[in-house]
Amino acid sequence: MNRIAIFLAMAILLSAASAALALDSSALVGTWQLTERAQDKDGKPCPFVGKQIVFTTDGKMISPNMPVPFRYKVNPSKEETEAAIAKNPELNGMELLLATMVNSPNSQIDWTKAPIVYGVQLKGKQLIMKVSGYTLSRYKKSN
């Protein structure tokens, strides 16, 4: 009986801990300035990170190096996460941000097919982004 109670207590604790670790999308909203740019093993810069990124409340990700604003999603479902990790195993264990060039808010987006996947970590005014095959990019929030 004690083992069951301990197991249940641990399950509840782990569930609460993983919920607390979920990426807070409202904290992501704003303008972020690049402080460290990702590069590949040959030292070439990552084309999927810009000198500045703006995250909007309506789910857009805007950067001067992007041809159009991207739609983004944080805290993907289990199915979306599994699909993203299957294509980007290097990001396993990280919070994920999915991005696509589909811009219409009325469009149904199949996030399991998101073409761009970032591993992210948000620590106060510091954002760390990881793209498979590249080192980490670091940003500082400017507003």
Write the pLDDT tens digit of every residue in 109-135. Answer: 899 999 999 999 999 899 999 999 999
Please tell me which residue, 35 or 66, carries the higher pLDDT value.
35
Question: Residue 26: how many CB atoms within 10 A of its CB?
Answer: 8
Q: Is residue 1 part of a domain?
A: no
Residue 105 has pLDDT above 70, yes or no: no
Q: How many domains does the chain have?
A: 1
Q: Quote the CA–CA distance of 10 and 125 in Å, as a whole number.
A: 32
Task: Tell me if 61 is assigned to some domain.
Answer: yes
Domain that holds residue 83: 23-141
- Domain harbouring 51, CATH code: 2.40.128
Is residue 123 situated within a structural domain? Answer: yes
Whether residue 93 lies inside any domain: the answer is yes
Q: Show the 3-state SS of 66-103.
A: CCCCEEEEECCCHHHHHHHHHHCHHHCCCEEEEEECCC
The confidence score (pLDDT) of residue 66 equals 81
- Bigger pLDDT: 143 or 40? 40
Q: Is residue 101 part of a domain?
A: yes
For the ranges 1-5, 105-109, 119-123, which has the lowest average pLDDT? 1-5
Does residue 13 lie within any of the structural domains? Answer: no
Residue 89 lies in a domain: yes
What does the pLDDT average to over 13-38?
A: 73
Q: Determine the Cα–Cα distance for residues 139 and 49; give it in Å rounded to an integer.
A: 10
Higher pLDDT, 83 or 67: 83
- Decide: helix, strand or coil at residue 142: coil
